[in-house]
Structures are given as structure tokens and as C-alpha cells.
């Protein structure tokens, strides 16, 4: 029985180490917002079905990106913005706005990339080709393009 436990432990250890090798995707390049998930389902698009998929419910975030370059100490953040108002009858009005582009200083330590600016702070966990963060009940994923 002890031999089986040792073999299972050795196999798990070997598999977890190989995952670190796959995490060497360089940060430089463009990362596109591919998922924005709410903690609770909401029917922002008033189709009668509440969903936790914020991108589908609003239709506003499809072109949001973060670009990291070698020659700049700040990331270029291009995020589409929106205005959401709830009506008295419980339905929503979603207004997509033009994307806003700005610069955000960032740090990268181990598998954590942190963007910091005057208006926001976002620590992302970097796993292979994905940057993931959870803030204010919303989990967002940016995928390297």
C-alpha cells in the first residue's frame, strides 16, 4: 500500500513540475479579454435569461485588450466602457461607449502580473497564455493573442 502511495505522490509531483515549464509564455504582446464572469447571474440584455457571462449580456467588451511591450515600463490598456442603468420595471439599459486607452505601470513577479494606475489596481495570475483576475465579484480572463 505504501508503494502505491509513493508512486501516486511521485506521479503528481512530476506532473506539477511539468506545468511550470508550460508557463513560460512571454508577457510581451497583446492579451485580449476573452471572458468576464459575474458572481451572480443578471439579465442585462433583457432576453429573459439571466447569465453570469458579462460579455454576452452586455455586448460591449469584445475589443478590450492589454498590450505589454519590451520598450515601455507601462502596459497599454484599451478597455471598452459601458453605462448600465436599471429601469423601474427591472429591465436594464446598457450603453456601450468608446474604448478608452491608457497606460498602466506593471510589475511581474513569479506568476503574478500587477497593473497599477491612478484609477485601478489589478493583480492578475498568469498561467500559460492566460491572465486572470477577480475583482468586485467579476472574474476576467485575458488570453494572449
In order of 26, 37, 72, 118, 145, the CA distances from 106 in angstroms are: 14, 24, 10, 12, 19
pLDDT tens digits, one per residue of 111-131: 999 998 776 788 999 999 999
DSSP string, 21-57: HTT---S-EEEEEEEEEEEEEE-TT-SS--EEEHHHH
End-to-end CA distance of the chain: 47
Q: Which domains does the chain have, with CATH numbers?
A: 27-144 (2.40.128)
pLDDT tens digits, one per residue of 26-38: 999 999 999 999 9
- Cα-based angle 34, 39, 44 (whole degrees, multiple of 5): 75
Amino acid at each position: 500500500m505504501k508503494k502505491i502511495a509513493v508512486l501516486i505522490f511521485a506521479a503528481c509531483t512530476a506532473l506539477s513540475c511539468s506545468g511550470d515549464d508550460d508557463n513560460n509564455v512571454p508577457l510581451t504582446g497583446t492579451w485580449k479579454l476573452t471572458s468576464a464572469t459575474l458572481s451572480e447571474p443578471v439579465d442585462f440584455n433583457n432576453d429573459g435569461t439571466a447569465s453570469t457571462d458579462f460579455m454576452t449580456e452586455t455586448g460591449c467588451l469584445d475589443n478590450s485588450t492589454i498590450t505589454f511591450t519590451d520598450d515601455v515600463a507601462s502596459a497599454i490598456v484599451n478597455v471598452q466602457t459601458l453605462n448600465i442603468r436599471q429601469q423601474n420595471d427591472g429591465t436594464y439599459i446598457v450603453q456601450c461607449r468608446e474604448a478608452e486607452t491608457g497606460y498602466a505601470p506593471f510589475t511581474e513577479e513569479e506568476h503574478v502580473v500587477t497593473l497599477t494606475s491612478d484609477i485601478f489596481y489589478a493583480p492578475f495570475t498568469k498561467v500559460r497564455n492566460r491572465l486572470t483576475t477577480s475583482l468586485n465579484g467579476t472574474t476576467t480572463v485575458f488570453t494572449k493573442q
